Amino acid sequence: MTSSTFSFFKAASRWSKNHKFFLTSFGVLAGGGSSIIYALEQSIHASNDAAHVAKQKWNHNGWFDTLDHASVRRGWEVYKNVCAACHSVEYLAYRELVGVCLTENEAKAEAAEQMIEDGPDETGAMFKRPGKLSDLIPKPYPNEEAARYANNGAYPPDLTYITQARIDGENYIFSLLTGYMDPPAGVVLAENQHFNPYFPGGAIGMAQALYDEIIEYEDGTPATQSQCAKDVVTFLKWCAEPEHDTRKLFAMKAFTILGVLNLVVWYLHRHYWSVMKTRKIFQSPKSLFKK
């Protein structure tokens, strides 16, 4: 049996013109589309004057690695004691911290320390009451104008989804928090601006927030600047992707089940083709694909 007698498999030679045209255009469009997306993505990096951020070895980087919840807990301490003075995490509620980095009682106690505006009561007035688990984390400023006014016109963005909202989120924020330096000669900063090579443009409205020993960790971890930055970024990563751990567990299950299904498909494939591959006589149906 030569390959020419096997003409049944040279399917493309029997396709109609339209069929070929359709497949060719589809290929060209798909290939062209991906090249354009790739090219655009590259130019974003090239046009940025910011320093390239280092890739850190986050211990949740692997396909099946959960977040380090001790680090999330320390990160919450850092957020609460440092970042919360300027940045909100306005989509996060106290109850969501339970079972992630706080016990229920701890979360209740922390919520109760905050006075939350509620109401109206029966006289129509708003009143303050201690926070409950269902309350959102209070914001440092009531609105964007107040935030800008307090920060010389710069707006401290909400941090809930910040790791998703920046290219290379975790690495970028880590570099940003630890990357402050004196401006190089020739760079002129406006008043209340600070130099950070990782921030596009270099002049950032946020002063360096993290220093060694800026807080004391309750678990005794030495609170160096990079430790605080790592922990707060891990916390923000959880904040932006609270489903992170479950997602990876499900990935593992999905791969396992798909692996088993793959075996079934492989067997079926052999089964169906065994008829074809063991036969001695071949027909060559001319009219199979063409009218």
Partner 1 sequence: MSIVNVLYKTVLKRPSRFFVVVAVTSLFFERTVDIGIESLYDRINRGKQWKDISSKYE
Residues at the binding site for heme c are 83, 86-87, 206
The answer to whether 244 and 237 have CB atoms below 8 angstroms apart is: yes
Query: Does 173 help bind ligand HEC (rule: CB under 6 A)?
Result: yes
130 is written with which tokens? 């201690």
Which among 28-36, 47-55, 106-114, 199-207 is the span making contact with ligand HEC, rule CB under 6 A?
A: 199-207
Query: Does 89 help bind ligand HEC (rule: CB under 6 A)?
Result: no
| Residues in binding site | 83, 86-87, 206
By CB neighbour count within 10 A (0-12 exposed, 13-18 middle, 19+ buried), where does 227 fall? middle
Residue 14 or 244 with smaller CB distance to partner 1:
244
Query: Does 82 help bind ligand HEC (rule: CB under 6 A)?
Result: yes
Which among 22-30, 85-93, 108-116, 215-223 is the span making contact with ligand HEC, rule CB under 6 A?
A: 85-93
| CA torsion, ordered 27, 31, 33, 35, to nearest 10 deg | -170
Q: How many helices (H) and strands (E) does the chain have?
A: 9, 4
Q: Which residues lie below 8 Å from residue 232, measured CB to CB, with a gap of 6+?
A: 75, 78, 79, 82, 83, 177, 210
Residue 87 or 237 with smaller CB distance to ligand HEC:
87
Query: Does 102 help bind ligand HEC (rule: CB under 6 A)?
Result: no
Read off the amino acid at residue 178: T
Binding residues vs partner 1 (CB under 8 A): 59, 64-70, 73, 99-103, 106, 219, 245, 248-249, 252-253, 256-257, 260
φ, ψ for residue 118 (rounded to 5)?
A: -140, 175
Query: Does 87 help bind ligand HEC (rule: CB under 6 A)?
Result: yes
- Name which of partner 1, ligand HEC, none residue 181 binds, using a CB cut-off of 5 to 8 Å depending on partner kind: none
**Taking the complex as a whole, how short is the minimal distance between the CB of residue 109 and partner 1, in angstroms?**
12
Which among 48-56, 84-92, 183-191, 243-251 is the span making contact with ligand HEC, rule CB under 6 A?
A: 84-92
| CA torsion, ordered 79, 80, 86, 91, to nearest 10 deg | 80
Read off the amino acid at residue 23: L
Which among 78-86, 106-114, 259-267, 273-281 is the span making contact with ligand HEC, rule CB under 6 A?
A: 78-86
- Name which of ligand HEC, partner 1, none residue 106 binds, using a CB cut-off of 5 to 8 Å depending on partner kind: partner 1
Longest dimension (CA), the chain: 95
Which among 12-20, 119-127, 151-159, 254-262 is the span making contact with ligand HEC, rule CB under 6 A?
A: 151-159
Query: Does 151 help bind ligand HEC (rule: CB under 6 A)?
Result: yes
193 is written with which tokens? 């601006």
- Name which of partner 1, ligand HEC, none residue 162 binds, using a CB cut-off of 5 to 8 Å depending on partner kind: ligand HEC
Q: Which residues lie below 8 Å from residue 176, measured CB to CB, with a gap of 6+?
A: 196, 198, 199, 204
The continuous run of DSSP H or E covering 127 comes out as strand 127-130
Residues from 208 through 227 that contact ligand HEC (CB under 6 A): 209-210
The answer to whether 202 and 211 have CB atoms below 8 angstroms apart is: no
Write out the residues near ligand HEC by the rule CB under 6 A.
Answer: 78, 82-83, 85-87, 151, 154-157, 162, 166, 173, 176-177, 199, 204-207, 209-210, 232
